[in-house]
Amino acid sequence: MHSDGVDPYVLLLMITLLAKVWFDLWGNKSRTLQVVLVIALGSIAIGLVVGGRNVIQEALTISYSEADPGHIRLRVTPDITPEQLERIGRIDGVWQVEGLFDGGVEWRLSDQDEWQSARIKSREGYAPEQMLMGPDGLREGTLPGRNSIGVGMISVGEAQLFVGDTVQIRFGDRVATYPIVALMDPIGPEPSFGETFYADQKTYTRITGRTNYNFIQLRSETWNPAQAEIIDQQVQDYFEEINVDSVGTSFPGQERIIPPDVNPATGILNALFLILGIIGVVVVILGIFLVYNSISAIVSQQTSLIGVMKAIGASQWQVAWSYFVLVMSYGLLAMVVSVPLGILAAYGLQTFFANFLNLESNQIAIDGSAVVIQILICLIAPLLAAAIPLRTGMNLSVREAISTYGLAGAMGLVNQLVATFKNVSYSIVLTIGNTFRNQKRVIIIQVACCRHHLYDGFGCEPVKSIYGRWETARCSYVARRFFNRFARTDGAFRKNRAHQR
């Protein structure tokens, strides 16, 4: 031992094992690339789901709080008058109440164009002091006022109307022409799938001839679920007196009462991300199986090498260490690839939902929990997958490792039985022995065959025909390679037997 306390034998052994790891990584680059990409794919999928959900949920919460929404939002049929709206505002506990207009119109830019459908939304006015709840934001131009209108941003599709255009609007038999002076965007998450016009109350009345409200929103001074229930019940009792039906406007459940701290889109997004999460977990599991198969193949190919390493004094843990370093190398490479791509994928998903829901907040953000989960997946999942084949390989004795039986060890019952066969082709004997020597492989093949027959039972004739021809060609190719290989071995075996006689 040197004066610095480093055992030269241990140092040489570590260098040798690291060289072996490098050889396994670089010597089979296609296998390394395949394993790294599959691990990275699972990590990216989980990072996309976790990171995307967290950053989108945060953006939704910020955007919804900025909207300052009402606690109760209702669509009423028939419309209610300003006097009836004032009566609702006198209900005990109601702090603010606002009536809104929402209807369908048709529009076109010139007499030669076809009429197209659109929505028109209206409120008393668009000055900040007039918009009590859920204000509409101005993106471009000036606020719509007397004899002018605004057009809303479109979250899906391309806009056809812009500030400065003059548009004809038709409602029933009424046709009027108005200039577009504003590009409007409702504050808070609100998707828009077509053209939407914004007009103040007087302009809306000139377009439609209506003066009553078909939407109302109200709230108490502070949020209290029990108080909101009482107010909503009193509103329903009043609507029964005046023969008015009402329904909530919250999508998708049409809830009448909407908590100000819970975005209505949260439930839909949670369901969507649950599905994406399940897909991500499936991808991770498939990656684990690939790592398991890869490490099993490496250990199987290097069984003799393991025997030699043990024969010259290497312990089980020293041998296993080189393979664990190999697996960790796969994980580290996958981590380097997947973490940045997972962050970009989460941001891309956030951008998509921000555009889809017209969110005002769309800053790039890195979710720390998603990054930690990705790192754990890249480092721990491959180790778990490699534990079983490594345990099997490390438990081999020197005699078993340098024999021709590989991981199966000594001859089993089937091998002993076929060894007694006489006047039977060596290829057949070897085929039978190899078929039943690895019981796990037999089970996997049988499961695959059962899957094929179950698929075949569904009766999908066109797909079945294509799939069947592909399977036949593949099996024929494998069979030809198998028997050509062992025909040469069988000939050599017969010559050797004849020479011994």
Q: Peptide bond before 69: cis, by omega within 30 degrees of 0?
A: no
pLDDT of residue 168: 93
Amino acid at 384: L
Q: How many CA atoms lie within 13 A of 24 on its CB side?
A: 24
Task: Please count the structural domains in the chain.
Answer: 3
Q: Is residue 5 part of a domain?
A: no
Tell whether 442 and 404 lie within a shared domain: no
User: Per the domain annotation, does 256 fall within a domain?
Assistant: no
Q: Do 131 and 278 share a domain, yes or no?
A: no
- Whether the Cβ atoms of residue 192 and residue 154 lie closer than 8 Å to each other: yes
The residue from 410, 444, 478 where one domain ends is 410
Residues 114 and 233 grouped into a single domain: yes
In a domain, 304, yes or no: yes
Residue 418: enclosing H or E segment and its boundaries?
A: helix 413-419
Q: Does residue 82 share a domain with residue 192? A: yes
Domain boundary among 348, 382, 410: 410
102 and 189 inside one domain: yes
- Kindly state the helix (H) or strand (E) to which residue 444 belongs, with its residue range: helix 439-456
In a domain, 307, yes or no: yes
Give φ, ψ of 253 to 5 degrees. -90, 0
Say how far apart CA 95 and CA 74 lie, in whole Å.
16
DSSP symbol at 82: H
Residues 49 and 105 in one domain: no
Question: For residue 426, is it within any domain?
Answer: yes
The residue among 292, 372, 301 whose CA lies nearest residue 327 is 292
Query: Between the CA atoms of 295, 301, 304 and 308, what dihedral angle is there, to the nearest 10 degrees?
Result: -50
Q: Parallel, antiparallel, or unpaired: how do β-strands 174-186 and 149-152 relate?
A: parallel
347 lies in the same domain as 370:
yes
pLDDT tens-digit readout, 423-451: 666 556 666 666 666 666 666 666 556 54
Query: Helices 266-301 and 303-311, interaxial angle, to 10°?
Result: 60
* Phi, psi of 106, deg, nearest 5: -125, 155
The reported pLDDT for the residue numbered 447 is 57
Q: Can you list the pairs that 411-417 forms with residues at least 24 positions away whose Cβ atoms lie under 8 Å?
A: 412/436, 412/437
Residues 219 and 74 in one domain: yes
Identify any residues that bridge with 6 across adjacent strands, giving them in sequence order.
none
Q: Do 40 and 93 belong to one domain? A: no
How many Å apart are CA 472 and CA 485, to the nearest integer? 20
Kindly state whether residues 218 and 100 are assigned to the same domain: yes
* Residue position matching structure tokens 């690895």: 438
Number of neighbouring beta carbons within 10 Å of residue 392: 15
Neighbours of 117 (CB within 10 A): 10
Q: Return the pLDDT at 106.
A: 93
The pLDDT score that the predictor gives to residue 467 is 42
Cis-peptide, bond into residue 78, ω within 30° of zero: yes
Look up the domain containing 465 and give its range: 412-501
Burial of 162 (0-12, 13-18, 19+ CB in 10 A): exposed
In terms of domains, do 95 and 112 share one?
yes
Whether residue 354 is found in the same domain as residue 454:
no
Task: Note whether residue 194 is domain-resident.
Answer: yes
Q: What share of the chain is helix, strand, coil (3-state, %, to 5)?
A: 60, 15, 25
Tell me the C-alpha distance between 312 and 362, whole Å.
Answer: 62
Using DSSP, state whether 394 is helix, strand or coil.
Answer: helix
Boundary residue ending a domain (410, 430, 465): 410
Give pLDDT tens digits for 486-501.
455 545 545 554 555 5
What distance in Å separates the CA atoms of residue 63 and residue 222, rounded to the nearest whole number?
20
Residue 255 in any domain: the answer is no
262 assigned to some structural domain: no
- Asked whether 126 and 144 are in contact (CB, 8 A), the reply is yes
Residues of the chain under the 50 pLDDT cut: 1-3, 404-411, 451, 454-455, 457-471, 474-475, 477-479, 482-483, 486, 490, 493, 497
Q: How many CA atoms lie within 13 A of 341 on its CB side?
A: 15
- Per-residue HEC secondary structure of 401-416 comes to HHCCCHHHCCCCHHHH
